[in-house]
Amino acid sequence: MSAQQFLADFHHVATIGATPANGVDRQAATDEDRQTRDWFTQFATARGWHVRVDGIGNMFALLEWRPGAPYVLIGSHLDSQPLGGRFDGAYGVIAALHAAEKVERLVAAAGVGQTVPPYNLAVVNWFNEEGGRFAPSIMGSSVFAGLMDEDEMLQVQDLAGTTVAEALERIGYRGQDERPQVAGYAEIHIEQGRILEREGLDLGAVDFSWYTQKLDIEVLGEQSHTGATAMSDRHDALVAASKVVVLVHEVTRKFEDEALVSSVGHLTLEPNSPIVVARRVHLVADLRSASPEIVAEARASLLESIEGVAREHDLTIHVNDFDVRPIQHYPEDGIVLVEKVAADLGLGVRRIRTMAGHDSVAMNRIVPTVMMFIPSAGGVSHCEREFTSDQDMVSGLSALTEVTWELVNGALDDGRKGIAERAMAMEG
Amino acid sequence: MSAQQFLADFHHVATIGATPANGVDRQAATDEDRQTRDWFTQFATARGWHVRVDGIGNMFALLEWRPGAPYVLIGSHLDSQPLGGRFDGAYGVIAALHAAEKVERLVAAAGVGQTVPPYNLAVVNWFNEEGGRFAPSIMGSSVFAGLMDEDEMLQVQDLAGTTVAEALERIGYRGQDERPQVAGYAEIHIEQGRILEREGLDLGAVDFSWYTQKLDIEVLGEQSHTGATAMSDRHDALVAASKVVVLVHEVTRKFEDEALVSSVGHLTLEPNSPIVVARRVHLVADLRSASPEIVAEARASLLESIEGVAREHDLTIHVNDFDVRPIQHYPEDGIVLVEKVAADLGLGVRRIRTMAGHDSVAMNRIVPTVMMFIPSAGGVSHCEREFTSDQDMVSGLSALTEVTWELVNGALDDGRKGIAERAMAMEG
């Protein structure tokens, strides 16, 4: 039975790079990432599907029933955060493989005189969605969508100085294959929030992605002796940076509950010696909201309060905007399609926004894209205790299978034309 | 002229590992440290002094005029902080080499019938006083004094996983020579504070070292997604750690100005990814005061407020005491000797405490020890703009030369007996 086989595969992949506390550690282009890639290849080739690997390490398993026609892509990513969860990304890829298998059977079972679907199908495993080892995140799909430059991304280094190009070479997944021509994209992912759980629903039809932006912050103080330097003579970069971290955390309180999320996840100090007052701290703040105005207001408030910290400690703080990702709306007909499929399957569904970035956000820039969520227990993710029940995963697989069938049969063709027209209008 | 030659040597050594902003970067057992060691060896062997290197990389240049007699040691350390100053440590070693040269001439010039001094003389370059690469600091002299275990220290690793033993092997300074038998110790160092500068004095006679202690602090939160996790669901280890850093900074305000100094110089977070809320932060706080009661009060206050931070963020914070260094008094007759020498040379002198740790603090535990300071411009140290004038350095050299002459002639013999008696009493 296919649901059983899907669950067996899912729980098998969760053993690759497994951590003692039930998570996985499979950062991009590590040996653990290679093992899941090998598993993906084996799954596809065992079914006679041809696997292509492009220059940035994206993998495509191709199901071609109409030679020369473009492909509907379905998938997600098999890489994880360090000590990440086993559902984030992997669920979407494994569900896509099983959805593809089912759709292939449906195509093969079509009666005499029925034509095969107008679009071919490919399952994709995007490279480096997480960005924990190589920043920025959502790298493979962004290169695919033309939003990031491939050569530039290949030169990105991890903390040990290894480039993306070298790391991909090392695991044998720096490909040279042509990218498939793409007609549409669908992805299913855990929610990473607790709205579905709270409302007892099975499925989310993602309507838009939150506005997100990062601030690159550099605090330049003066190195001095922790023991011998008088407190009044210090310009302690870490004390100032700590106040910035707290400000970034507390700025959310200026707005309604959960209207804004913000945090600092990355911070390094120099020289980082127990008996030396730090001269330099570098940190990255992450601001996200459904409202660009709220992000703008929070950013302005932070700039002002950070300037106050710099004055108070008589040091310099540079703040630069980067990685600004505007709100992206998913096509309305895709959302309606998910609602229809859910109704057909008897699943509870609601429209939902995504606060996290996803490969589908990049793909939505170039083709009609459908994004679905299944529940996350407690809303936790990017950690080992991330959890979704087998039942929720199987319900999601059914929804993805139906959506995929509709997409290869041209369900979003109007939207595709719409995107083509928008692209032409932008060029014009 | 000897002052000119001393200054030429000092400014030459400052070119080894020189940084663009006038500092030096010569961390322990790096190639730059090796170069200063080679220079030290060359200085000694050119004068016929035998050089010994012990198992922890301490170097001794021996001047023996009374075979079999113990040695008075004089010196300091040639290693530096990363982007450190060119005076901290190096001044004391180079001054000691020149003081030794002068004392050797005095011994050689002694008239017929005059006996040579009762003690021999050795110039020492202690290994890893700074502790920036390999913690703890004051390593070489502490091993020499029996306060730290040599085998344990040889296994200490830097951030790249290199051990002290490997690093010393690599630069060719892991010795096997016997340690000289020691009768007394003298060191001269920059003040790293601005008391001498403020009072227009040339010399400080160090009377005691501050009480110091460190707190090893581990903040255990929960890893989660910076975008998708609701603010109210987070247990952000970095936000809590940042509050701890600010508390450690601000606890000094509970006491009189400069009665307590405190800071966090070392902090690491995991996983340190821009889009992941940190699960763990490790940091080291450093507390110092002339009063053990003030440190105890500050520590108690911090423990209480840190407990409050843990409660507020619903996470765990472990705090452990380590590297507790009680107040050490230098022998009174050594202080009086410095005051007498200063008067003879026409130098302004005062008694002064040290807030920083020094090799002399370790040596003072086993032999009569004299510690002197010369002024530091602006009191700054452990940074590139550390500065002391040539004139102040030459005055200090004169004082060290005189003190050395007195020590090899037995000036602190009463104190030495005192220490032997104290040691016997402790064993008894």
| Average pLDDT estimate for B179-206 | 96
Higher-scoring residue by pLDDT: B294, B228: B294
Domain boundary among B293, B325, B357: B325
Domain count, chain A: 2
Task: Give yes or no: residues B393 and B290 share one domain.
Answer: no
DSSP class per residue in A188-211: EEE-SSSHHHHHT-SEEEEEEEPE
Question: Confidence band (pLDDT; 50, 70, 90) for B40?
Answer: very high
Q: Do B223 and A81 touch (CB under 8 A)?
A: yes
Task: Give yes or no: residues A126 and A203 share one domain.
Answer: yes
Mapping DSSP to helix (H, G, I), strand (E, B) and coil, where does residue A286 land?
strand
| Average pLDDT estimate for B287-306 | 97
- Residue B81: which CATH number? 3.40.630.10
pLDDT at A327: 92
Q: pLDDT tens digits for B260-284?
A: 999 999 999 998 988 889 999 999 9
pLDDT at B423: 47
| Average pLDDT estimate for B323-333 | 92
Q: pLDDT tens digits for B60-81?
A: 999 999 999 999 999 999 999 9
Which residues have CB under 8 Å from B387's CB, separation 6+?
Answer: B85, B87, B376, B377, B378, B380
pLDDT at B427: 41
Return the exposure string of B257-273: e unless at least 16 CB atoms fall within 10 Å of the residue's CB, then b. eeebbbbbbbbbbbbbb
pLDDT at A416: 55
Q: Using omega within 30 degrees of 0 as the cis cutoff, is the peptide bond preceding A136 cis?
A: yes
Please give, rounded to a whole number of angstroms, the shortest distance from the CA of B253 to a CA of chain A.
Answer: 10
| Average pLDDT estimate for B241-254 | 97
Task: Give yes or no: residues A164 and A220 share one domain.
Answer: no
On the question of pLDDT at B418 being above 70, the answer is no
| Average pLDDT estimate for B45-49 | 97
Paired with B371 in beta bridges are: B187
Question: Confidence band (pLDDT; 50, 70, 90) for B409?
Answer: very high
Q: Do A230 and B194 touch (CB under 8 A)?
A: yes
On the question of pLDDT at B121 being above 70, the answer is yes
- Residue B215: which CATH number? 3.30.70.360
Instruction: Kindly state the tokens that stand for B390.
Output: 């040539």
Q: Do A381 and B355 touch (CB under 8 A)?
A: no
pLDDT at B422: 42
On the question of pLDDT at B15 being above 60, the answer is yes
In terms of DSSP bridges, do strands B59-63 and B120-125 run parallel, antiparallel, or are they unpaired? antiparallel
Of the residues B225, B289, B361, the best mutation for testing chain A's interface (the one with the most A CB atoms within 10 Å of its CB) is B225
Task: Give yes or no: residues B169 and B81 share one domain.
Answer: yes
Task: Give yes or no: residues B321 and B245 share one domain.
Answer: yes
pLDDT at A132: 85
Domain boundary among B271, B306, B325: B325
Please give, rounded to a whole number of angstroms, the shortest distance from the CA of B67 to a CA of chain A.
Answer: 41
What is the count of residue pairs from A and B with beta carbons less than 8 Å apart?
Answer: 247
Q: Is the reported ipTM for this assembly greater than 0.85?
A: no
Q: pLDDT tens digits for A369-426?
A: 999 999 999 888 888 999 999 999 999 999 999 999 999 999 998 765 555 454 444 4
Task: Give yes or no: residues B316 and B332 share one domain.
Answer: no
Instruction: Kindly state the tokens that stand for B90.
Output: 């190096």
Task: Give yes or no: residues A354 and A303 share one domain.
Answer: no
Task: Give yes or no: residues B365 and B345 share one domain.
Answer: yes
Give the residue numbers spanning the domain of A229.
Answer: 211-325
B395 shares contact with chain A (CB less than 8 Å):
no
Nearest to B379 among A230, A284, A381 (CB): A230
Nearest to B380 among A224, A241, A246 (CB): A224
Nearest in space to B278 (alpha carbons), one of A215, A83, A30: A83
pLDDT at A380: 84
Q: Residue A95: which H helix or E strand, with range?
A: helix A90-108
Task: Give yes or no: residues B217 and B132 share one domain.
Answer: no
State the maximum Cα–Cα separation within chain B, in Å, rounded to a whole number.
89
Nearest to B223 among A241, A277, A382 (CB): A382
Residues of chain B numbered 296-315 and touching chain A (CB < 8 Å): none
**In B, which residues are within 8 Å of A379 by CB distance?**
228-230, 233
| Average pLDDT estimate for B299-328 | 96
Whole-number Å distance between alpha carbons of B94 and B77: 9
Nearest to B231 among A82, A214, A261 (CB): A261
CA contacts within 13 A on the Cβ side of B59: 32
Task: Give yes or no: residues B174 and B237 share one domain.
Answer: no
Task: Give yes or no: residues B186 and B283 share one domain.
Answer: no
Helix ranges (H only) for A330-389 are 332-345, 359-363
Task: Give yes or no: residues B134 and B174 share one domain.
Answer: yes
**Below-70 pLDDT ranges, chain A:** 1, 112, 415-428
* Whether the Cβ atoms of residue A202 and residue A342 lie closer than 8 Å to each other: yes
Instruction: Kindly state the tokens that stand for A392.
Output: 């929720």
Domain boundary among B290, B325, B360: B325
Which residues have CB under 8 Å from A244's CB, separation 6+?
Answer: A217, A219, A264, A283, A285, A306, A309, A317
Of the residues B273, B283, B353, B358, the best mutation for testing chain A's interface (the one with the most A CB atoms within 10 Å of its CB) is B273
CA contacts within 13 A on the Cβ side of B34: 11
